[in-house]
Structure 1
Amino acid sequence: MTDLRHRTAAENALRHQHSDDKGSETEGRADRDGASDTEGKQDVPEVPVPADDTPEVLNKALSGLSSRWKNWWVRGILTLAMISFFFFIIYLGPMVLMMIVLCVQIKCFHEIITIGYSVYHSYHLPWFRTLSWYFLLCVNYFFYGETVTDYFFTLVQREEPLRILSKYHRFISFALYLTGFCMFVLSLVKKHYRLQFYMFGWTHVTLLIIVTQSHLIIHNLFEGMIWFIVPISCVICNDIMAYMFGFFFGRTPLIKLSPKKTWEGFIGGFFATILFGILLSYVMAGYRYFVCPVEFNNDSNSFTVYCEPSELFQLQYYVLPSVLQSATGWTTVRLYPFQIHSIALSSFASIMGPFGGFFASGFKRAFKIKDFANTIPGHGGIMDRFDCQYLMATFVNVYIASFIRGPNPSKVIQQLLALRLDQQLHIFNSLKAHLIEKGLLPAVEEAA
């Protein structure tokens, strides 16, 4: 019996020794594979949660309320303040709106990059923050340089330095980006390659989402401020009304990424936003200040928004479907055609817009943070407020290009004026022959 116990103990010792040897061999193999594999298995450090910066006045005034109602009042008061500020910058004109869009873009980029830097800084790797801002500068130079050339052609042609920058704009943009690319390659550090390329991708995805979309917002603004104000207002309305319906009536969870979002809030926000979009469009479509394209006046060196409104912004009669006729007793209604387009805009803001928020929620959950920042008490960071707006900007730009905008004669003339004189003469003769063939110009008899 004693021999049996000794033999069992010896077998167990051998098994443990074999297991230890195998573990040591595995560890040795991992070490030989390099630290780059190890870095991929390291846990991502959690980003510090911003402290509550709710104004002390509100904290004292709402101290007797539960956290749920306190948050409701804080969000409501700050929402009214932001809406008032939004009306104020609309009053200041399109140039101020463009500057605000640029400021929001920079702040959103800062909030996302700060999260990346919190992860990146713990590894003491060089140049990430500097290169991130450098790439932001390069991308903005590329996009806004194109915009300046398109919309301020006469001004650009008038100034020699601007004319040179415009002519070689894309080459200069590429050279700037290539410089940043080389700087990134030179900054690579042994044993941290994977993390550095991960952060390189982080920066570029952020640029794709933030800068591209803000550039599209400004393009929408040039089509007329109504194309800027109505979509943004629809997203704001949907966010507010979905919150209100969800707060008072919400019972059924909508999506796991955002446990507080409910089907009641989603459906209530949809119908409220459709109604809001139709009413807001009716009010704004009657003012040239909102419907006219934003153009740059070279004589006064300022923006102008005066024009003869297109058919899109002229009242027309529409025959109602038989179902609505029986329900309302009306046969026809008098609407602006833009109001019909506003239904598409508000529907997208209500159905697809929230997915921008869900995407942001998934991003925040990945890094275990509540908000991107604590810039706005009760709301989080600027990115928390504009996560749905960027999807909306892309949709509006695509919608205008697909269903609204036709060829722009002014841009065609700008391109013609940039050609050589012999090329301009060739186009003139070709156009003249075409108009004669169509009967729009009298035929010119050749001299005998």
Structure 2
Amino acid sequence: MTELRHRGGPADPDLQQQSEDKGSEAEDRMEKDGGVSDSDSKPDSGVPDVPAPSDDTPEVLNKALSGLSSRWRNWWVRGILTLAMISFFFFIIYLGPMVLMMIVLCVQIKCFHEIITIGYSVYHSYDLPWFRTLSWYFLLCVNYFFYGETVTDYFFTLVQREEPLRILSKYHRFISFALYLSGFCMFVLSLVKKHYRLQFYMFGWTHVTLLIVVTQSHLIIHNLFEGMIWFIVPISCVICNDIMAYMFGFFFGRTPLIKLSPKKTWEGFIGGFFSTIVFGIMLSYVMAGYRYFVCPVEFNNDSNSFTVDCEPSELFQLQDYTLPSVLQSFTGWTTVKLYPFQIHSIALSSFASIMGPFGGFFASGFKRAFKIKDFANTIPGHGGIMDRFDCQYLMATFVNVYIASFIRGPNPTKVIQQLLALRPDQQLYIYNSLKAHLTERGLLGALEEAA
């Protein structure tokens, strides 16, 4: 990143002439003989001119809050817009998982745009070709790969029923690689003499952005298809922690937490932690009782539509838990009825409160590196979409890893779907192998006698 900033100013005319006369060998010599190099000890002053976002607070709010100090004015603007965003969040939950998936895609594209725009502010001064075009092309390729994998994995029956989808599914990875390879060749062809290093920096910039934004938004969709509760509870915990940490910090904050974010305080961090734990347990209790939230999204061949209906697993069935002796003496209760998911929600809430903010600290460090306050000015009082989702992407990765490590087991439905896609002779071979295995273990005979 430091090298990228050093390249932000005009190049030395003598070095340009030298590179024109002697080609790429002069570029290597330039680094050895005192040109701009990795070991340059000059201060990091070449920060690109990234335009600061303007104040786009609605005029109605500006007039209504004109008599308040800037501190309280910002408090009210953030509060009103937060309530509006939460209301919109509830609305899209009501519309169902498919709409949620499209919203995640839209958020991903906007976050990608905000980060790429910052890079472009450095890159455009050299009038070099294809940076934006290639960045968006790579975004298209990566989304094609990830969404194709998701459709094939979760909606296998639909894919096998439609001939075009079956062909695309069969050669999906080859097509994805061919698309990426085309972009790779276009990048190589776009290389311009004297600016190779900067172009490779921006190539890396694009790919790191894809890793941070696209890969993790894809994990959010995977969590969603496991059941909307795995999508809503983690996101809500991050939102709750963000709000409560801000509230505790605003009213009680005195002790700075980290230099990257001077406004973050220990009081806000601790208050947000306990508030989020309580909130996660309560929200999980409410949602675990509804099949709409706990059942995975599946494609129903009979109704030819996506459905959210199942027999809830043990994870979402009330069970008795014995309280520790300390709590028994304090509450007078011996046992309590809880959903097992509520126990897991404590882990989700803890991560959202302890590790989640580090996504925000990372984003703060990135913005300080470029001397900007926010990624954009999309949401008044909040900044850009990326400013709101910096913690969410880290949370999504944790939830996906948590489900794979502690929750998800073998899925009989997916196994059967894969078996039905085999040739008849392969199906018979598996049938005979399974029959022999069950007979050897004594299970098949016991089942026949019971029948």
Instruction: Verify same fold: TM over 0.5.
Output: yes
Give distance in 2, aligned partners of 1:28 and 1:123: 16
Deviation at 1:39, TM superposition (A): 6.8
Q: C-alpha deviations, 1:49-86, integer Å up to 9, x for none?
A: 01100000000000000100000000000000000000
Partner of 1:10: none
Q: Helix, strand or coil: the match of 2:406?
A: helix
Give distance in 2, aligned partners of 1:60 and 1:299: 56
* 1:411 partnered with 2:414: yes
Find the partner of 1:165 among 168, 180, 185: 168
Give distance in 1, aligned partners of 2:129 and 2:135: 12
Partner of 1:78: 81
Give distance in 2, aligned partners of 1:258 and 1:119: 25
Q: Helix, strand or coil: the match of 1:47?
A: coil
Give distance in 2, aligned partners of 1:87 and 1:129: 35
Give distance in 1, aligned partners of 2:17 and 2:278: 62
Larger radius of gyration: 1
Give distance in 1, aligned partners of 2:265 and 2:89: 28
Distance 1:196 1:29, change over 3 A: closer
Give distance in 2, aligned partners of 1:78 and 1:89: 17
Partner of 2:180: 177
Q: Helix, strand or coil: the match of 2:98?
A: helix
Distance 1:192 1:230, change over 3 A: same
Q: What letter is aligned with 1:150?
A: D
Q: Helix, strand or coil: the match of 2:263?
A: strand
Deviation at 1:266, TM superposition (A): 0.2
* 1:213 partnered with 2:216: yes
Partner of 2:280: 277
Deviation at 1:421, TM superposition (A): 2.2
Mapping 1:192-203, distance limit 5 Å: 192-203=195-206
Partner of 2:390: 387
> Can you give the 5+ residue segments of structure 1 that lack an aligned partner in the other structure?
1-26, 444-448
Q: What letter is aligned with 1:143?
A: F
Greater mean deviation of Cα atoms: 262-271 or 117-126: 117-126
> Can you give the 5+ residue segments of structure 2 that lack an aligned partner in the other structure?
1-13, 20-25, 447-451
Q: What letter is aligned with 2:267?
A: E
Q: Percent identity?
A: 91
Partner of 1:93: 96
Mapping 1:146-165, distance limit 5 Å: 146-165=149-168
Say if 1:242 and 1:269, in contact at 8 Å, map to a contact too.
yes
Mapping 1:30-69, distance limit 5 Å: 33-34=26-27, 43-69=46-72
Say if 1:94 and 1:303, in contact at 8 Å, map to a contact too.
no
Q: Helix, strand or coil: the match of 2:321?
A: strand
Give distance in 2, aligned partners of 1:129 and 1:28: 28
Say if 2:16 and 2:194, in contact at 8 Å, map to a contact too.
no
Partner of 2:317: 314
Deviation at 1:424, TM superposition (A): 1.6
Q: What letter is aligned with 1:148?
A: V
Q: What letter is aligned with 1:130?
A: T
Q: Helix, strand or coil: the match of 1:49?
A: coil
Say if 1:213 and 1:394, in contact at 8 Å, map to a contact too.
yes
* 1:227 partnered with 2:213: no
Greater mean deviation of Cα atoms: 316-325 or 61-70: 316-325
Find the partner of 2:373 among 370, 373, 396: 370
Give distance in 2, aligned partners of 1:201 and 1:425: 50
Give distance in 2, aligned partners of 1:212 and 1:416: 29
Q: Helix, strand or coil: the match of 1:86?
A: helix
Partner of 2:304: 301
Find the partner of 2:251 among 237, 248, 251: 248
Q: What letter is aligned with 2:436?
A: A
| Backbone CA RMSD of aligned residues | 1.8
Q: Helix, strand or coil: the match of 1:387?
A: helix
Give distance in 1, aligned partners of 2:149 and 2:86: 31
Between the two proteins, the alignment pairs up a number of residues equal to 418
Tell me the TM-score normalized by structure 1: 0.90
Q: C-alpha deviations, 1:277-328, integer Å up to 9, x for none?
A: 0000001111111111111112323221111111111111101111212222
Say if 2:158 and 2:299, in contact at 8 Å, map to a contact too.
no
Deviation at 1:30, TM superposition (A): 11
Greater mean deviation of Cα atoms: 196-205 or 157-166: 157-166
Say if 1:297 and 1:304, in contact at 8 Å, map to a contact too.
yes
Q: Helix, strand or coil: the match of 1:388?
A: helix
Q: What letter is aligned with 1:227?
A: W
* 1:344 partnered with 2:347: yes
